[in-house]
Structure 1
Amino acid sequence: MADCPINHHVKAVFIPVEDIEKAKEWYEDVLGIEGGEIQFGHLFVADMNGTDLVFDEMPMWRGENGELPTLSVPAIQFSSNDIHASYRLLKEQNVELVSEVIHDHFFVFKDPDGNMLMVCQC
């Protein structure tokens, strides 16, 4: 497959959100993600180290009744140098925690839109 025009690099990960401004504020407040820009009125591309993180109101992917699709399994993993400190931080910020720290290695939480996300000590 040496002639494949698709690069072996994940450029961006999309997170479905109901309200782009509220999502931007929550991720800034809770995870400290700062910088980036709103594009096309429904996307926010966050400044990240590595793969881009894109919050998207998903206008073309909504259900017939306008319902927003959510990540019902943890498809996105944030890294941490101290998993227990990360867990305590989110707990103190009243973030919905789905799991305790498992194997001293990772835990799962939800954003305000119900997307399940993971933090893993790497």
Structure 2
Amino acid sequence: MKELLQGIDTIIIRVSSIRKAATWYKEKLELSALWEDEGLNLVVLDTNSAVSITLWQTKEPIEINKKTAAYPIFKTPNADLLRAKLELKDVEVDEILQDDHVRYFFFYDPDGNVLEACQVIAH
């Protein structure tokens, strides 16, 4: 099985409006589209890593529970600077949290999907 599972290709994030979400991710996070499919109402975004994010429109209500939701974690070299830049772009951001190994914060797309940014602290 190990030879057949070759890593994570993409992470699906369900959205209520593909146009609104795609615009938000492109403008606020400065991610570019790798592929768009209007028929399927999805956009695949380049995350500057091997794993992409696929925004996929759904007609179902999007119900987010931050305590149980799966979500992507973006790497960042500077959590404080990224948080400040997102805040300037009117992105909803939580306060920065820190433990012995990382500084991180949660932020949210227009549908309330949970996203996280994480900075590893060098020791």
TM-score bracket, normalised by the shorter chain, equals 0.7 to 0.9
Rounded to whole Å, the distance in 1 between the matches of 2:70 and 2:119 is 15
Give the C-alpha shift of residue 4 in structure 1: 5.8
| CA RMSD after TM alignment | 2.1
Rounded to whole Å, the distance in 2 between the matches of 1:114 and 1:34 is 21
TM-score normalized with structure 2 length: 0.80
Count matched residues.
Answer: 113
Structure 2 letter corresponding to 1:11: D
Matched, 1:12 2:10: yes
Structure 2 letter corresponding to 1:68: I
Partner of 2:96 in structure 1? 101
Matched, 1:45 2:44: yes
Summarize deviations over 1:61-92 as a string: whole Å, max 9, x none. x2xxxx23446336210111111100101111
List runs of 5+ in structure 1 lacking aligned partners: none
CA contact (8 A) 1:83 1:119 kept: yes
Rounded to whole Å, the distance in 1 between the matches of 2:40 and 2:17 is 11
Give the C-alpha shift of residue 37 in structure 1: 2.1
Give the C-alpha shift of residue 8 in structure 1: 4.7
Rounded to whole Å, the distance in 1 between the matches of 2:33 and 2:57 is 18
Query: Identity rate of aligned residues, in percent?
Result: 23
List runs of 5+ in structure 2 lacking aligned partners: none
Q: Which has the higher strand share?
A: 2
CA contact (8 A) 1:13 1:52 kept: yes
Partner of 1:111 in structure 2? 109
